[in-house]
Amino acid sequence: MGNDGGSIPTRRELVKNAARALNNTELKAKLLEAQTHAWNTCPLSNRPLAAPIVSDSSGTLFNKDSIIEYLLPQDSDVADKEKDDVLQGKVKGLRDVVEVKFTITKEGKEEKRICPITSKELGPQTKAVYLVPCGHAFSEVAIKEVKGDVCVECNEPYTAENIISILPVAKEDIDRLSKRAETLKASGLTHSLKKAPGAKKRKKGENAEEKTKAKPIVEGTKTATSNGIKNSATASLTAKVLNEQEERNKRRKLAQNENLKSLFSNTGYDAQKQKGGDFMTRGFSLPKTK
């Protein structure tokens, strides 16, 4: 350790200091940087956000084409785990997203998303929301001031529960959207308020069960459903009457058939009259005995 031309490390060099906690200003700057990136970049494809833009139940913004690419069947059996982690199972179909309709204004070559009521720019420095199901975006302050139940852009009705925060940061907003998603799922609805595919399948299954419960009561060749006629004795009697009516109809049709009538005679057989007939009507007679 000595007299070898080397250096002796001090304690300060051996022991690393713990990471310093960020102060409020640094935290705000980091959060603003993350929000700016989220407002401008699709987390699924890492491409710039461009219309049409959609949002899931948590308020995250995506390019619609990226969602469609994710939902299309892939050639490889191995799923993209990174994309699965981004979506966290919240998007299983287009019903799980809503297209966010921003009001766009141009300043030179730059396009800005603004609130149509306050004209404030919607972005990382402004709390923004959109309405379900129409998808029109506003500043949160404007929606609170209006306090209406219809969208001022399209007059589509909405409820307070369906005001979705865009890229929320506050814990209460995140928890509210999470609770809303759970409530919709329990009701068989998706984020866009459309019925979930699973809910429709259950409904069809219920109808099938109802059909199997209404088993037909068979009597002869006719059937009468217990669903239509609740009394089994009445259903049985009805089937019997229908059978008899069918037999009568058959006999009536048989009697009206001219082709069959020509083969039979109601006045008896006369050999002399039938000599000129065809092989079907010509009879055979025994010679007279003397």
Is the peptide bond between 9 and the residue preceding it cis, with omega within 30 degrees of 0?
Answer: no
Residue 192 pLDDT > 90, yes or no?
yes
- pLDDT one-digit tens code per residue, 198-207: 765 544 455 5
Mean pLDDT over 86-115 rounds to 92
User: Higher confidence at residue 230 or residue 99?
Assistant: 99
Buried b vs exposed e over 217-237: b needs ≥16 C-beta within 10 Å?
Answer: eebeebebeeeebeeeeebbe
Tokens of 129: 């929301």
The pLDDT value given to residue 197: 86
Please enumerate in sequence order all residues whose Cβ is within 8 A of that of 15, keeping only pairs 6 or more positions apart, or say none: none
CA angle 120, 126, 131 (to 5 degrees): 85
Fold (topology level) of 23-200: Herpes Virus-1 (3.30.40)
CB 115 within 8 A of CB 122: yes
Residue 158 has pLDDT above 90, yes or no: yes
Strands 110-114 and 103-107: antiparallel
C-alpha radius of gyration, the chain, whole number: 41
For the residues 144-165, what does the mean pLDDT come to?
Answer: 92
CA distances (Å), 62 to each of 12, 120, 134, in order? 48, 22, 17
Where exactly does CATH 3.30.40.10 map onto the chain?
23-200
User: What pLDDT, on a 0 to 100 scale, did the predictor assign at position 244?
Assistant: 76
Q: Which of 117, 156, 113, 121 is nearest to 135 (CA)?
A: 156
Residues in the chain: 290
Share of the chain above pLDDT 90, in %: 48
Question: pLDDT at position 272, please?
Answer: 53
Residue 245 banded pLDDT, cuts 50, 70, 90? confident
SS3 205: helix
pTM of the model: 0.61
Distance, in Å, from the CA atom of 82 to the CA atom of 68, rounded to the nearest integer, reads 16
Indicate the pLDDT class of residue 214, thresholds 50, 70 and 90.
Answer: very low
Q: According to the model, what pLDDT value does residue 78 have?
A: 52
Q: What is the pLDDT of residues 135-144, one digit of tens each?
A: 999 999 999 9
